[in-house]
Amino acid sequence: MKASQLLLSKGFLGRSMEELKRRTQIAVSFEAIKGASAPRPLYDFNTPETVRDCIRMSDRSIGGFSESNFDLITSDKSANDVSHSPSTKFSSSSASGAPSSYARFHGTISTRLPTSRPDVQRTGFAGFRTPDQRPTMFGRAVWDIDPYAYLALRIRSDGRAYLINVQTESVEPSDLHQHRLFAKRPGEWETVMVKWNDMVRTNHGFVVEPQTEMLRQRVLTVGIGLTDRTEGPFELCIERVWATNDPSEAEPTEHSDLGELRNRKGERIRW
């Protein structure tokens, strides 16, 4: 019997060894009993491959006219291309202190409806998510973030009403767990943290009732969406996302507890 190409690939074996190393570390450090002490990296947006593999979304998939782009920015571009881009709201001084490489999610939101699709009654959205995780010898790869209290994101926002989207293994594949991405200092790099338990289960943009607890042992992807339907340019830069138990990694953010998500009765929900 010949070994399959998947089993022979360096990527598959490398991912399997990393997963074995991670599980061994949990065992020898008694993390399952004591709880995790070190943060767990989930995704870094700092190489051409990690940025290229991410999934972009917009209403163009249903005939809309919003534009969504997801590009890698490196240190030699961050001070020139980004700060002087016509679509950005950032001043050149905001580029100081930027990471050496990161992803730039940008484009234009349009609420124009496609004349050829009378069934489409709502447009004006864009988003991205991390790619589907590749398998290991332990099976389908997932993120087990159960030992952690917070999701952390290193971002620079234009201040628009972005949503964090978390996908887990679920009976309903289209379910998401969402939370507003509250940026305290738009135009500057900052770390935003959200409690995993504060996320709200939704389906196709509506809050699902009754709510069920997130399956924290089986997280598949993390993404960001823009659904405020405000026409015009947008830009959000992101360096990395990780799970942590240390709330001091970010300052508390003051914001209204009234969210943008609604239930099927049209009532706005509170975080």
pLDDT, position 32: 54
| Mean pLDDT of all residues in 54-77 | 93
Non-local (6+) Cβ contacts of 7 within 8 A are 13, 137
Note the pLDDT tens digit of each residue in 81-101.
444 444 444 433 344 468 999
Other CB atoms within a 10 A radius of the CB of residue 233 amount to 16
Q: In 3D, which of 143, 134, 122, 130 has the Cα closest to residue 57?
A: 130
Note the pLDDT tens digit of each residue in 125-180.
999 999 998 877 766 789 999 999 999 999 999 999 999 999 999 878 899 999 99
Q: If 0-12 CB within 10 Å is exposed, 13-18 middle and 19+ buried, where does residue 1 land?
A: exposed
- Confidence band (pLDDT; 50, 70, 90) for 5? very low
Tens-digit pLDDT profile for residues 131-145: 998 877 766 789 999
β-pair partners for 114? none
